[in-house]
Amino acid sequence: MADTVRVGACQTPEIIGNPNAALDVMLRFAKEAEENKVDLLLFPECFLTGYILSEAYAAQYSYKLESAQFFEILKKLEHIKPVLVFGLNEKTAGRYYNSAVVVNKGKIVGVYRKTHLINPNELFYTPGNEMPVFEIKGLKYGINICYDTQFPEAAKAVSSQGA
């Protein structure tokens, strides 16, 4: 039997084009979550970068997760006790993804890339093709981003892995 896992879901202000302001909000929510003994803290879709459905915007506000720029963000999250799940625009191999990153004490645990994109608004993103499962205190969980929840195979994929 898994230990109790306290989950916090953040209802945040919408921040567009200012990842530093989004990071400040994340740190403030994380401090409050820590005070309330939250284990897993969730942030909205594209929270860090803002959710603007434009390829030009994504080109300006996307992160390569292995970049020095993203490493600086991770450094600011090293002291955070709850595991964080937050959305961002990700760029890798010349493609854009609507991603959720799982971070524990400033280290990337994994990434989920939205698999079901809204046509035509999100067609500049590449759909993800993996349904990773993560674990915290013996509890396995998967991630769906927004529209993904409309498709039962998304939940089936993570439940078949023990989530």
Rounded to an integer, what distance in angstroms lies between the CA atom of residue 91 and that of residue 100? Answer: 12
Strands 95-104 and 83-92: antiparallel
Amino acid at 33: A
Amino acid at 28: R
What's the distance, CA 116 to chain centroid? 15
- Residues 37-86: pLDDT tens digits? 999 999 999 999 999 999 999 999 999 999 999 999 999 999 999 999 99
**What is this structure's pTM?**
0.96
Rounded to an integer, what distance in angstroms lies between the CA atom of residue 34 and that of residue 147? Answer: 30
Quick check: 88 pLDDT over 80?
yes
Q: What pLDDT does 103 receive?
A: 98
- Mean pLDDT of the region 113-118: 96
- Mean pLDDT of the region 126-130: 96
Q: What pLDDT does 2 receive?
A: 58
3-state secondary structure of 71: helix
- Residues 27-36: pLDDT tens digits? 999 999 999 9
113 within 8 A of 122, measured Cβ to Cβ: no
Domain boundaries, the chain: 7-159
Q: What pLDDT does 3 receive?
A: 85
Amino acid at 151: F
Q: Please report how many Cα atoms fall inside a 13 Å half-sphere around the Cα of residue 103, on the Cβ side.
A: 29
Q: How far is CA 110 from CA 77, 83, 85, 131, in A?
A: 15, 11, 10, 11
Rounded to an integer, what distance in angstroms lies between the CA atom of residue 149 and that of residue 24? Answer: 29
* CATH fold label, 7-159: Nitrilase/N-carbamoyl-D-aminoacid amidohydrolase (3.60.110)
Scanning the chain, the segments in alpha helix (DSSP H) are 19-35, 55-60, 68-76, 152-159
Amino acid at 145: I
